[in-house]
Structure 1
């Protein structure tokens, strides 16, 4: 049931300083406000997220075209979308129904099959299987619903036929069906019109018209329809599959920024025409490109890609996710060793803090505990600020900085050589940080290919700490040098030791 009153919309418009509809072409949904604000490319500003049901939202992501292996450009997009979905589900308590489309019929897939003398279906299945394995390695949650083009041909055909019957599309002599953009007055609302990259054709009525259905060509798969043989165009796939799964409107539609135009523009146009609506997707979520050094987009065409398995040979999935968390999902993210090393250092700060907190709380000191209201005040303040940051267009970078400030403040207590003992606030802070980061998809688990067990490493680190403490007291440079050798050797085995006056801790760096 829609509960929101018209006056509430006026209040929201005032709070958000929304531009009039004539300027934005975005329609504010009627329903239940969530307190979340996201950037909307149609409104060209942050807008309030309003859902028909206060606890349920629908989400569709444009998935891969499975003709080749995924690379880090794809990985950064899907990891960031995974982070956004986790925020909606775990911090805002929204039951998010997620779907992803997989393009398993496409020019590139067909061409790959012809070049390798392999059936295009085999090509698609191979690379889709590889894609899901890569996503699992990156801890990207699998969507609840996976829609493959090959499984929805009848739905796509029906969608195209409806547009033909309504005279919003037209068939040509070569069997191609085009969407008539002149029949949709709002075409170009997602992004100002530009070159759509659609092939120039004498059969088109307008330059911006795009193919809903491609006429049959020799050596290509085809399906027979009432207007002739052929196969689906790219844009129609998502519209037909989303409509079948979610009906005439969807809350969130997501993908990389490169899909904004023409793909998402065309989706919105044909879906609005099909459902006879002014607005089909209420909220578009677009992820910025991954750039290599020199502000160059990572892409197969530029031959500058890095595969996901190659990344994981050097850095952990947690490190890559931390790099994503430290950037804004809407803007380009740079991939360099410097960026990844910084993300790794930040991740290790959290791991060291959690170990130090455990050691602090479980020490064998005889002093009695105190409550430390000041520390708890800092925790509550940071909790509230972080939730507000997430509600402000998923600002994870601000949250990471906030958590670093929190551990820095807490470390002063842990490392202080005083009689005070504050286990309750330390435990609460450590628990909050652990929950916060794991909710964002970090595993925070120590994993290593070394055969050494954690208990053996603990024993070694404790022994080294005892030796080092005695050496410091006696100013024995030879023993201190030996301790440094052990530390450096352990670091080469992906075990980083953190020394302090009271104790030493360690974490795996991969």
Structure 2
């Protein structure tokens, strides 16, 4: 395995002796291979996931800056990260220690506080509370640890002081602190950028130097540090909080693709400098943006956002998650009604199959069951193919495609074969599909707001099926049209019927 990837010795040396980024390679961790591979931006290829402990991994996600409501661009990022976390935990049996940092001190929060004449802490609390409600509505699991910048000021101050003492950072005349990128030649390894050119202002020594501490400004919150009054810069916050939790090295660090530079680049640089190591985060996970019509990124600045409650008025959380599952987490996803309708159709194919499978297994037709080895072989083949897909950079799109193939094969047995009866393989397929989809975070629950109970709908659908079957035999067009009217009426109240020769099933749709 080591021959496949560029590896540098794990022997540590002072950061000042690091080679420029052109020669900086991803360092393969020592430890236990999980069998999974993940794309790494430093290596620019998929690399093996290797953990110090084969069953425990650390994970940190950059959380929101809580100055406003979240939108579905944020939702797509956190849903996709939730899917990856669930795969690591449920398919690879890794105990994932998840943490998320909440930026509750920031220029935008302070601006909102001034505009609304509210204390900045109350602004942050309001929108953080709203964020967690939105995430729960999307079935995104809450991290085990939540860190807030306002609660870790002393940790951040200690981190900065060590960088100043090691001359990796410097204090300016106004009391701000900057990281000296010229002292860290590996700067730019995440996105291949070199620290060069004139400084953009007289306080900075180099163009790419970034603020660790911002000097106090009038009417803004500030804290006392040994070098002066002020508040933390954005990048230092995550590094300090992660170090407090996980020590000198982190397994997974995740966020949107827009965070790769400068945020994650700066985190890696200052953390390597602080810990005197060549590699801080072993695996960077970056999620592609959600785009809207016209290839524009969804963002508040472009005023093209859709709120999460607005999304859920039109589509269920399961439909949105299915849209995320059928795309690649690393690439942009375009949001439109066509894409969402396709995701809804895919979801309904699974829900219809599960209903049909239950009806098939519990039918009262005469005869006895058989195992049908070919169906069981198809199931085993799909199970193996899905594990390989998930091992290859969490390829959920292939996994969903494989499940649809399995449904198609099983439906041939359920709907087209009138004589043979194979309850065991059909119920095993249904159980496997349910297991995979729920482990990926789908609830597969019907709309609880339906005005009709399940039992009433079951009775109505069964009655309609009997009438329709009789009308088909007699070629009674008027009766068939009446059955179509019933079908359309039910669809108008979010009940969708799937007809077949053997039976009719239904699901509740958003």
Q: TM-score range with shorter-chain normalisation?
A: over 0.9
Distance 2:87 2:110 in 1: 38
Structure 1 partner of 2:14: none
Structure 1 partner of 2:224: 224
Deviation of 1:194 (Å): 7.3
SS of the aligned residue for 2:178 comes to strand
Q: Is the 8 A contact 1:24 1:44 kept in 2?
A: no
Q: Is the 8 A contact 2:182 2:195 kept in 1?
A: no
SS of the aligned residue for 2:480 comes to helix
What is the correspondence of 1:377-416 to structure 2 with a 5 Å cutoff?
377-416=377-416
Structure 1 partner of 2:317: 317
Q: Is the 8 A contact 2:188 2:195 kept in 1?
A: no
SS of the aligned residue for 2:162 comes to helix
Structure 2 partner of 1:330: 330
Q: Is the 8 A contact 1:256 1:289 kept in 2?
A: yes
Deviation of 1:385 (Å): 0.6
Runs of 4 or more above 6 Å deviation: none
Deviates more, 1:448-457 or 1:370-379: 448-457
Distance 2:116 2:218 in 1: 17
Distance 1:389 1:376 in 2: 20
Question: CA, structure 1 residues 359+199, in 2 after alignment: closer, same or farther (shift >3 Å)?
Answer: farther
Deviation of 1:368 (Å): 1.0
Deviations 1:208-248 (A, max 9, x none): 00000000001100001111100000000000000000001
Q: Is the 8 A contact 1:176 1:215 kept in 2?
A: yes
What is the correspondence of 1:60-79 to structure 2 with a 5 Å cutoff?
60-79=60-79
Deviations 1:399-443 (A, max 9, x none): 000000000001000112432110110011000000000000000
- Taking structure 1 as the reference length, the TM-score comes to 0.96
Instruction: Provide structure 1 residue ranges, at least 5 long, that are not aligned to the other structure.
Output: 1-11
1:13 corresponds to which of 2, 27, 30: 2
Structure 1 partner of 2:430: 430
Deviation of 1:24 (Å): 5.1
Structure 2 partner of 1:186: 186
Distance 2:24 2:394 in 1: 22
Distance 1:156 1:277 in 2: 19
Structure 2 partner of 1:284: 284
Deviations 1:129-152 (A, max 9, x none): 000000000000000000000010
Distance 2:162 2:396 in 1: 43
Deviation of 1:174 (Å): 1.2
Deviation of 1:192 (Å): 1.9
Instruction: Provide structure 2 residue ranges, at least 5 long, that are not aligned to the other structure.
Output: 9-21
Q: Is the 8 A contact 1:24 1:43 kept in 2?
A: no
Distance 2:295 2:433 in 1: 33
**Number of equivalences:** 496
SS of the aligned residue for 1:498 comes to strand
Structure 2 partner of 1:172: 172
Deviation of 1:20 (Å): 5.7
What is the correspondence of 1:325-474 to structure 2 with a 5 Å cutoff?
325-474=325-474
Deviates more, 1:303-312 or 1:19-28: 19-28
Structure 1 partner of 2:90: 90
SS of the aligned residue for 1:380 comes to helix
Question: CA, structure 1 residues 339+481, in 2 after alignment: closer, same or farther (shift >3 Å)?
Answer: same
Distance 2:459 2:488 in 1: 17
Deviates more, 1:17-26 or 1:457-466: 17-26
Does residue 293 of structure 1 match 2:282? no
SS of the aligned residue for 1:42 comes to coil
- Taking structure 2 as the reference length, the TM-score comes to 0.96
Deviation of 1:185 (Å): 1.4
Q: Is the 8 A contact 1:322 1:343 kept in 2?
A: yes
SS of the aligned residue for 2:102 comes to strand
Distance 1:247 1:173 in 2: 32
Structure 2 partner of 1:28: 28
